[in-house]
Structure 1
Amino acid sequence: MTTRIPGRRLALLAAVAAGLVAASTTPSPANAASPGTGGSLHPAHNRVHSDEIWGGYTAYGSTFHSISATWNIPALDCSANRGIASPWVGLDGWDSSTVEQIGIDFDCTTGRAQYKPWVEMYPQDSIYFTNTVRAGDSMTGSVTDDGGHWFTLTLTDSTQGWTKTFSKYLASSRSVNAEAIIEPIGGGNVPKLARFDALRFTDVTVDGHPIGDVSTHRSAVTRGTTTLATTGSLSGGAAFTVSWQHS
């Protein structure tokens, strides 16, 4: 059984309100991997993980060179909890021990809604950047592997009119997965899932084709037997909705 490794370990210690252990569809739980420290701006922490910590679609069964998707930036309700929800696109991570990814945190840890874009080459830690993001914006993320372990990771907010592009190398990458995901984020324990309005991924393409054209795994975010966010069916092979259910 292949170990599934989570992509994100962030030192959001103030956000840690409760441990989150996801129910897995695999017979055995995944192991928590020790993160690296090279080039990080945020210290890393282990956490318990299994595949249902990721809500969304993961492509598997081949080698992939690119993933791209567009998603809306929903309003957050930070009155009920101080959790985080983090949508992103990436390569690897499902059947490999690295993840090359870019996305944004929907952050309620201070009690007010904040949107924080980031890039990560796991097992290195996330690096945040400061471009403005607001509820109602349209965000597009993409990750491309040139076949030689060099990755181009791009995030665009078409509403605010900015684009950030990163070129990064990761020798241990394999590009055996491609995914569009939302997940809770945290340090040693994962905090509650921030309450967000419906999140819609559209134009989810893998190597230029709808993600539904390849083998995919659909997962919801769960805690034990509690579903925290549901993942809808693919529409047109390239769009789906993630809906918050529980903190």
Structure 2
Amino acid sequence: MSPKNSGDVTLTEFNEDGKLIRKIRSFVRREGRLTKGQELAMEQNWPTMGVDFKTEMLNWNEVFGRDGEVVLEIGFGMGASFVEMAKNAPEKNYIGIEVHSPGVGACLMAAGEAQLTNLRVMCHDGVEVFEHMIPDGSLDTVQLFFPDPWHKARHHKRRIVQPAFVEMVRKKLKVGGVFHMATDWENYAEHMIEVMNVAPGYQNVATDGDYVPRPEDRPLTKFEQRGHRLGHGVWDIKFARTE
């Protein structure tokens, strides 16, 4: 079933201690939310690039039809930088998870135009996908770029980077695999570092301070370019799984 016809979606939130709370809310993806181009891309490209949610573990060789490094991105938005990364590294296998169907449609449209064969997408909650579909120790890289900062202090508990979440990511990474985060909110960057520094089984990849320079393989988004012109910072954080 294509994601535009799905009904309930599981959303996630964390409590003050970073423990996972699951919440179910009815979330009907209306046809009208997708543009005609996105709708067409969903119909044409989902059969080859879409991965339906099931409560069974994926086999990456079967998903991509080949062996290769697996890069998973959580929340790719409209997919522009995700598609560019896949285009620039055809030897790697890219799978993206995004809960909003217009973003999935836009990503499939761009990926189709680029005739990519190394990109797959899912339209479901990332925590559910990790729990039920991602084999332990199977990912080379997990990417989380510009997640919602929930900048008000009382909303910080809603931030996705919490102890339970980063432990979930660690289990799915290979030993030596990297969790790569990026944010344009300095307070969130500091929060990420605080959480990661005490998370077991991780080591900061940075050699000079807490942050790494923007890696060449993370494309500069239009939003980020505008931020640079206005003097806004972006913080890249990379932690590798050690055990």
More relative contact order in 1 or in 2 (CA 8 Å, sep 6+)? 1
Task: Answer yes or no: same fold by TM over 0.5.
Answer: no
TM-score, length basis structure 2: 0.28
Looking at CA atoms only, which structure, 1 or 2, has the larger radius of gyration? Answer: 2
TM-score, length basis structure 1: 0.28
